[in-house]
Amino acid sequence: MILTGKARLAGVVGWPISHSKSPRLHGYWLENLSIDGAYLPLAIDPVHFEETLRGLKNAGFQGVNVTVPHKEAALKFCDEVDPLARRIGAVNTIVFKNGRSFGSNTDAFGFIENLRQNSTHLDFGTAKVVVLGAGGAARGVIVALQDAGVSEVLLVNRTKSRSEALADDLSTDLSSGQGSVQNWSQNRKIQVCEWEKRNEILSGADLLVNTTSLGMAGQPPLELDLSALPLNAVVTDIVYAPLITPLLEMARSRGNQIVDGLGMLLHQARPGFQAWFGEKPEVTPELREFVLDA
Smallest gap from Cβ 159 to ligand ATR, in A, equals 3
Angle between helix 136-148 and helix 107-118 axes, rounded to 10 deg: 60
200 versus 223: smaller Cβ distance to ligand ATR: 223
Q: Position 247: which residue type? A: L
Q: How far is the CB of 71 from ligand ATR (least distance, A)?
A: 9
Q: How far apart are CA 39 and CA 14, in angstroms?
A: 14
Which of 10/137 has CB closer to ligand ATR?
A: 137
CA 2 to chain centre: 32
User: Which residues carry out catalysis?
Assistant: 71
- How far is 249 from 278, CA to CA, in rounded Å? 39
Q: How far apart are CA 240 and CA 244, in angstroms?
A: 7
Contact present, 273 and 23 (Cβ < 8 Å)? no
Q: How far is the CB of 51 from ligand ATR (least distance, A)?
A: 26
Residue closer to ligand ATR (CB basis): 138 or 275: 138
For ligand ATR, the nearest residue by Cβ is 135
How near is the Cβ of 213 to ligand ATR at its closest, in Å? 5
CB of 158 to ligand ATR, least distance (A): 3
Query: Which residues are 102's β-sheet partners?
Result: 80, 95
The Cα 181–Cα 287 span in angstroms is 31
- Judged by CB, which is closer to ligand ATR: 174, or 238? 238
Cβ distance to ligand ATR smaller for residue 141 or 207: 141
Task: Write out the residues near ligand ATR by the rule CB under 6 A.
Answer: 133-138, 157-159, 162, 211-214, 220
The answer to whether 112 touches 144, Cβ cutoff 8 Å, is yes
Contact 250, 230 (CB under 8 A): no
Distance of CA 138 to the CA centre of its chain: 9
Dihedrals phi, psi of 135, to nearest 5 degrees: -90, -160
